Amino acid sequence: MLVRLAVTAFTIALLTATWATTALPTRASGQTATVVVVGSVVIGGPDDTISASGYAGHVGTSWRRGTGGSWQSLSIDGPQATGLAVGSWDVAWTPDTTHGSLAITGTTCLGGHVTILEAPVLDAGGDVLSFAAEWSGCTSGSGAVRIGSAVPLAAVRDSGAAFGAQDSGTTEQGTVTFHNAGNVALAVNAVTLSADPSNAGLEDFSMPGTTCVGTLDPGMTCSVDVAFRPTAKGLRSARVTLDTVPAAAGAVATVTGTGTFALASNDSIGNAAEVGSLPYEYYGDVQAATTDRLDPVCDGGFRRTVWFHYHATTSGPVAIETSESVNQDTVIGVYSGSAPDDLALVVCHDNMSASDLTSLARFPAAQGTDYWIVVAEGQQGRVWELTLTAVVGAPDTTVDVSGWAVSPTTFYPYPDGFRDTTRTTAVPGEPVDVSIEVVSVASPAVVLRRSTVGRREAAYGWTWDGKNDAGTRVLGGSYLVRHRYVDVFGNTSSHDVPVTVSSKRLYFTTTSKTLYGYKTYDRGAWGSKASTRVSGTSLILKSGSGHANAMYRFSLVTATVYKSVRFEVLGKSANGRKVDMWTWNAANGDWDAFRRIGPGYAWWKAPTADGWAHVVGGKAYGQVEAFNTAGSSTWIIYKVRLTYTYGVLK
């Protein structure tokens, strides 16, 4: 016996291919079904109209093709509603000739089948059973009916938590509720807090407690306490997930909040923010902070500041940093004593690195001591939003210094301008007091030179001139420049940098070399050669309408260093016009700026030039050029000379 199914509304759509189906679990035998049509049936084209009717065990549709066209009906036949199940059932296609015998052109609709699919819905509201109809030679159709379901449904509805705006560093409590909207009990394995893939802020949320434990029965709820403590400005979010068996759809809630920065009120030392027990966090909008000439800024300058006060109740290391103040240039100074007139600097720190302009100050706090902490903007720009943390520092037992270097390793301590001194350098990773001792390798216990560099927290260097404390030059030999360190925690260390003092020294000689004639060399000369020689040695440069040049190369004696060179020309102008003289600069790869010479007969001299820049491979170059300015230039060159000073180690 067939049971009538009540058919309500259909939504028209167009399908041109057979409906794809997927098998789902079979309905339990004897399950009572309430039938409501909630899907669609499609037959024909866009000009078609659809009507629907139903009776026992049968869902039917009527189709009218165009105005005055024929009516056709589709029958979907199934078993009793009390036994309606997933599966395939016969389909009957019956032409209705009341309005004529027009059928679908080129098709015969002789039969087919319908497939019923089951898809659960939430909160015992019944399940969706979709169906697809296919038959030979006709357009496919689809639809859906909703019935009660015995298929296990594990599903959860949640209510997320929206905290709104919250000052950074302050905490707000909220609750996330999970509701078992399915028809099976859920065993709760865990409740987890995780990152929201679409936004940052996981670190700003925590879960103080939850009632989501054990079993969550259908229709029951449980809750998760969520705390929001923003550490940055802007939208922050995270996810709370209920892990169940069986796994329940929808068991993920999103929690959101917006971090804000309160306007700072600790602009002066008199209004210093109180640092209570450690760890301590501070978030402040400091854009309204002001400068005060009475505020000590340990790194120098006159800058905007905010203040903090810390009374140490126990002794131990303390670390204060502004590392979360993104892209902010800060300086931290820590002082002890009585404010504001009796403050002694404990530690000062500027930049973490060349690219990280935030600060970290570490110091050993003494029980019962008052510390005054100033945070000032650095030299690279204005600070708007400040994040400061103060924590109990890790035990500090070592001194952090690295990167020792020396240049030159061998030097000649004579005041002659050639490697007279040596410089040793290092890079502290924390504030340290630096002192220097110089000892000989032969007698390392005897200190020859002492020097105090002072407090350093970034790269520094010390220059030694080769003399002892009495100002006497030491003997040639091997020495150690010993760097000694004491950090703010009292830890000590030292590092020896080896250097060599040479017993040799430079002896300088000034000499000259004279050339006749000319030749063009590979130093960027231009123009034409002189065309007339005089007495076989002198030459005449005639610019004509352009220019003419002569170049000279001087091979110098072998030396340790060339101190200076000067190019000279003996000559005169034959027509009263001046010409140019040049000296090749090897360091720049070009000719030095010219000197205009003439017109009388004389030794014309270029400016004295540094030997290191103007000698390459033991050679120096000079050039004379005649060129047309207000007319042709004619210049007689009798001879040229290079006067130079060189030094040899002996």
Q: Is the pLDDT of residue 27 over 70?
A: no
pLDDT, tens digit, 9 for 90 and up, residues 147-189: 334 445 666 666 777 888 888 888 999 999 888 877 778 899 9
Higher pLDDT, 122 or 312: 312
Domain identity same for 117 and 160: no
CATH of the domain at 458: 2.60.40.4070
CB 173 within 8 A of CB 226: yes
Residue type at position 280: Y
- Asked if residue 485 is part of any domain, the answer here is yes
Average pLDDT (623-636) is: 83
Enter the tokens of residue 35: 């039938």
Count how many Cα atoms sit within 13 Å of the Cα of residue 435 in the half-sphere of its side chain. 10
Domain identity same for 486 and 516: no
Domain identity same for 137 and 227: no
280-285/602-605 β-pairing? unpaired
* Boundary (domain end) residue, out of 454, 483, 502: 502
Average pLDDT (333-349) is: 85
Enter the tokens of residue 48: 């078609």
What was the pLDDT predicted at 18? 25
d(CA 532, CA 543): 12
Domain identity same for 638 and 525: yes
* Boundary (domain end) residue, out of 213, 234, 260: 260
pLDDT, tens digit, 9 for 90 and up, residues 235-275: 999 999 999 888 877 788 899 999 888 888 888 888 899 99
Domain identity same for 185 and 275: no
Dihedral over Cα of 440, 441, 446, 450: its sign: positive
- Asked if residue 5 is part of any domain, the answer here is no
- Asked if residue 17 is part of any domain, the answer here is no
What was the pLDDT predicted at 519? 61
Q: Is the pLDDT of residue 69 over 90?
A: no
Higher pLDDT, 113 or 488: 488
Q: Which helix (H) or strand (E) holds 614?
A: helix 611-614
Q: Is the pLDDT of residue 612 over 60?
A: yes
CB 349 within 8 A of CB 361: yes
Count how many Cα atoms sit within 13 Å of the Cα of residue 438 in the half-sphere of its side chain. 24
Domain identity same for 371 and 385: yes
Burial of 275 (0-12, 13-18, 19+ CB in 10 A): buried
Domain identity same for 378 and 435: no
Using alpha carbons, select from 225, 227, 228, 41 the residue that is nearest to residue 133. 41
What was the pLDDT predicted at 545? 79
DSSP-assigned beta bridge partners for residue 50: 63
Task: Supply the DSSP symbol for 612.
Answer: H
| Lowest mean per-residue pLDDT among 20-24, 506-510, 569-573 | 20-24
Please tell me the total count of domains within the chain.
5
d(CA 507, CA 496): 32
Tokens 């032969």: give the residue. Answer: 442
Q: What is the residue range of 478's domain?
A: 401-502
CATH of the domain at 611: 2.60.120.260
CB 53 within 8 A of CB 110: no
Task: Supply the DSSP symbol for 153.
Answer: -
What was the pLDDT predicted at 487? 87
DSSP-assigned beta bridge partners for residue 451: 436
Dihedral over Cα of 309, 311, 312, 313: its sign: negative
DSSP-assigned beta bridge partners for residue 427: 402
- Report the 10 Å Cβ neighbour count for 443: 9
Using alpha carbons, select from 439, 457, 455 the residue that is nearest to residue 447. 439
Residue 346's Cα: distance from chain center in Å? 33
CATH of the domain at 175: 2.60.40.10
What was the pLDDT predicted at 330? 84
- Asked if residue 21 is part of any domain, the answer here is no
Mean pLDDT, the chain, as a whole number? 74
d(CA 300, CA 483): 26
CATH of the domain at 366: 2.60.120.380
- The three-point CA angle 102-103-108 to 5° equals 160
What was the pLDDT predicted at 41? 33
d(CA 606, CA 530): 21
CB 374 within 8 A of CB 327: no
Q: Which string of DSSP letters, residue by residue, matches 178-242?
A: EEE-SSS-EEEEEEEEEE-TTS--GGGEEEEEE---SEE-TT-EEEEEEEE--SSSEEEEEEEEE
- DSSP E strands in 229-384: the ranges are 234-245, 252-260, 273-275, 280-285, 305-311, 316-321, 330-338, 342-349, 360-365, 370-377
Domain identity same for 296 and 325: yes
What was the pLDDT predicted at 323? 76
Average pLDDT (539-557) is: 84
* Boundary (domain end) residue, out of 392, 423, 446: 392
Domain identity same for 94 and 44: yes
- Asked if residue 552 is part of any domain, the answer here is yes
- Asked if residue 637 is part of any domain, the answer here is yes
Using alpha carbons, select from 325, 295, 299, 293 the residue that is nearest to residue 308. 295
Average pLDDT (364-372) is: 91
Q: Which string of DSSP letters, residue by residue, matches 67-110?
A: TT--EEEEEEE-S-GGG--SEEEEEEEEEE-TT-----TT----
- Asked if residue 13 is part of any domain, the answer here is no
Domain identity same for 247 and 303: no
Q: Is the pLDDT of residue 125 over 70?
A: no
- Asked if residue 104 is part of any domain, the answer here is yes
What was the pLDDT predicted at 251? 83
- How large a percentage of the chain has pLDDT more than 70? 70
Domain identity same for 633 and 531: yes
d(CA 502, CA 56): 116
Q: Which string of DSSP letters, residue by residue, matches 456-501?
A: ESS-EEEEE-SB-TTSPBPPSEEEEEEEEEEETTS-EEEEEEEEEE
Higher pLDDT, 61 or 401: 401
Count how many Cα atoms sit within 13 Å of the Cα of residue 80 in the half-sphere of its side chain. 7
Domain identity same for 411 and 497: yes
Q: What is the maximum span of the chain, computed from C-alpha positions, in angstroms?
A: 140
